[in-house]
Amino acid sequence: MNHNILNAIPLPQQTHHHSKEMKKYKIEKNISLTRKKGRIKKYDFPLEDMEVGDSFQIHGDVRSPDRKLMLTQYQSVFTQAKCRGIKVTSRTQSDGSIRIWRVE
């Protein structure tokens, strides 16, 4: 490769990103931080009301072709439990439903 050719190509004029003309945002001071709005929960699982050894069932059949809603609920249980510091476990039941136990 001929480096002289590359050096002969003029480069575009560099602009500084910190120039006053480019500022799009105004820095403001002493603005109170508003409370963060949490996501609305689709499912209200009884996790906080459960004692160790208690369980509840997610109805449906994991073998069914339309098990998507059931599996979404299953994932939501573990997400909510983790956010609350609650440990749970699960087992698929003989009828295809999923049972959730609080273990800690």
Residue 19 has pLDDT above 60, yes or no: no
Residue 97 has pLDDT above 80, yes or no: yes
**31 three-state secondary structure:** coil
Domain ranges of the chain: 40-104
Please list the residues that pair with 102 across neighbouring strands. 88
Mean pLDDT over 10-21 rounds to: 56
Q: Which is more confident, 37 or 53?
A: 53
Global pTM value: 0.60
The 10s digit of each residue's pLDDT in 27-36 is 888 888 877 6
pLDDT at 33: 80
Structure tokens at 46: 């009884």
